[in-house]
């Protein structure tokens, strides 16, 4: 979202996004990597086991979080799968560099969305005063790095990116429920996506 903030009035100038891209997609890249690793090292295809896939998804998300603060993560899961009565254990070290290579295309898509929003607001990168990171996936260092390269400024991440999302959702839910939400700022929002309709005069 591109917003203009003046005198406690927050006006959303443009908003765009990819509804089919999120943190789960980042996790899935690690899951796919682990599935292939198990095929190569143990000659097993665990995609046939819903339980094993659920475990992989959990450890993939945890690995992603660790890689936000560390250059490597050791992914281990004992008795992940059983083949012919023999347990299959997972043990693999994943580097942040390899993980970032996995999600590079997703970051390209994200930056494309950013430019669409800027174009909708009739603005360019040089018009933006600050970049605020919102959402858990922005903890990935490469996200900040790519944005810094694009905007030539350090994105602001001092506010908990997960808390931003949760707080916004809670305030919106309270407003829909008719609660009296005390706010120090006025939000002037827009319809973020086209309804797919047009008016002919």
**pLDDT digits 0-9 by tens, 64-89:** 999 999 999 999 999 988 888 889 99
**Spatial CB neighbours of 56, under 8 Å, sequence gap ≥ 6:** 31, 34, 35, 46, 77, 80, 90
The CA distance from 126 to 109, in Å, is 20
Question: How far apart, in whole angstroms, are the C-alpha atoms of residue 83 and residue 46?
Answer: 10
**What's the whole-number average pLDDT of the chain?**
87
pLDDT range class, residue 19, cuts 50, 70, 90: confident
Q: Residue 197 — pLDDT band, cuts 50, 70, 90?
A: very low
Two structure tokens written together for 163: 């808390």
Beta partners for residue 156, in sequence order = 132
The residue among 66, 45, 140, 70 whose CA lies nearest residue 100 is 140
CA of 124: how far to CAs of 94, 146, 181, in Å?
37, 16, 34
- 90-114 confidence digits (pLDDT tens): 999 999 999 999 999 999 999 999 9
The phi and psi torsions of 131 (rounded to 5 degrees) equal: -115, 120
Of 94 and 199, more confident:
94
* Predicted pLDDT of residue 195: 46
Q: In the structure, what pLDDT confidence band is assigned to residue 190 with cuts at 50, 70 and 90?
A: low
pTM for this one?
0.81
């Amino acid at each position: 979202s591109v917003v203009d903030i003046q005198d406690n009035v927050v006006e959303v100038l443009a908003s765009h996004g990819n509804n089919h891209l999120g943190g789960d997609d980042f996790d899935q890249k690690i899951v796919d990597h682990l599935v292939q690793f198990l095929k190569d090292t143990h000659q097993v295809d665990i995609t046939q086991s819903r339980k094993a896939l659920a475990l992989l998804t959990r450890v993939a998300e945890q690995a992603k979080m660790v890689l936000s603060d560390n250059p490597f993560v050791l992914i281990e899961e004992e008795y992940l799968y059983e083949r012919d009565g023999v347990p299959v254990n997972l043990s693999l070290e994943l580097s942040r560099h390899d993980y970032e290579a996995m999600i590079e295309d997703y970051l390209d898509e994200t930056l494309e969305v950013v430019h669409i929003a800027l174009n909708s607001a009739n603005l360019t990168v040089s018009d933006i005063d600050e970049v605020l990171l919102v959402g858990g996936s922005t903890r990935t260092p490469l996200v900040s790095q790519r944005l810094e390269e694009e905007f030539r400024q350090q994105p602001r991440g001092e506010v908990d990116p997960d808390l931003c999302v949760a707080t916004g959702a809670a305030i919106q839910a309270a407003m829909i429920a008719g609660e009296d939400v005390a706010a120090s700022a006025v939000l002037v929002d827009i319809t973020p996506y086209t309804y797919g309709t047009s008016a002919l005069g």
